[in-house]
Amino acid sequence: MPTLKYQVDVRMIAYAITMVALFATLWITGFSWPAYLMLLFFAMCMGPAAHSHAHAGIFHQTWANRAWDYVLSFCYGFPIFVWIPTHMMNHHVFGNRPGDATITWRLTRKDTTWMAAIYPVVSSYYQNPLTMHYLQDNWKRGPGRRTRFWEAMAQYAVWGAFVGGFLWLDWRRALLYIGGPTAVSLWMVMFFNYVQHVNCDAESKWNHSRNFVGPVLNAWLFNNGYHTVHHWKPTEHWSKLPELHASVSHLIHPELQLPQVFVYLFRTYVVGIFIGPKIPDFTGHVGSEERLPKPPPAPRSWDPKQVYSEAA
């Protein structure tokens, strides 16, 4: 029998079961706004769940983690091996600095409503080559690394069969009940990454990320709001992040520790249309005195002239 590393991760399993039950209910009985909105909400929650599992795995047993990969791929909406090349091997290495495929300042350094809206699409486009390189590299390195290649291919195959099968049964219902939740899950997880890094001090050890520390959303999203300490200790279990954040909160700029994410989003992307975003001033702040180590050189394919314009 598989055993969880942390019993609190039974919540992830409950979310997955709930999503399957909602999907089955909608598919069999027909559309219902309450059930569909619940399905979209849990799809949003499964993004942070996939992120947490990708970092450390929720089970002690390797085979159980591989099996859970498939379940999460269905619920998250995409094979979750992609977190390895795009997130662990890239974003955590470069951290919104040159070389990071998920940089928030690719098109402009201005935090605008339109940029926040299109960022997930732009970020996805630039993350895709990392996935392709990861697959090619694991194949070229020989039998010892090809296991990773075949694991990724298996996720693609099973996920593709799942989506393709339901498209074949009824493409309209599949687009609504699979496509809708997938769009919400993928868009929201990248949007959260944007708001947690934009207009922060990327070179600072403590002020590189924006944190949302309110209890309600963190309870649903596996403490995804505690972003600074996640970058500090990326394999730390999500249940430990509030305590970890409390231990270093005095080093983090007050304007990067916000109680309510919805208040921030309304202020920045609704009111901000008229008065502009509020940009923290890191001058002289203790959290910006200690700098991060320099990242490795940006990949040769990362061309600042092509992807970034200071005048934009």
Per-residue pLDDT of the chain (312 residues; tens, 9 = 90+): 899 999 999 999 999 999 999 999 999 999 999 999 999 999 999 999 999 999 999 999 999 999 999 999 999 999 999 999 999 999 999 999 999 999 999 888 899 999 999 999 999 999 998 999 999 999 988 787 899 999 999 999 999 999 999 999 999 999 999 999 999 999 999 999 999 999 999 999 999 999 999 999 899 999 999 999 999 999 999 999 999 999 999 999 999 999 999 999 999 999 988 887 788 999 999 999 999 998 888 776 665 434 332 323
Residue 306 has a pLDDT of: 40
Residue 81 has a pLDDT of: 96
> ∠188-278-217 over CA atoms, to 5°?
35
How many residues are present in the chain? 312
Helix/strand/coil for 260: coil
Among residues 105, 102, 71, the alpha carbon closest in space to that of 87 is found at 102
DSSP 102: T
Residue 141 has a pLDDT of: 85
Among residues 219, 205, 203, the alpha carbon closest in space to that of 261 is found at 219
Residue 202 has a pLDDT of: 96
> ∠108-194-238 over CA atoms, to 5°?
160
**What are the extents of the domains in the chain?**
7-305
Helix/strand/coil for 204: strand
CA 284 to chain centre: 31
Residue 305 has a pLDDT of: 38
Residue 70 has a pLDDT of: 96
Residue 310 has a pLDDT of: 31
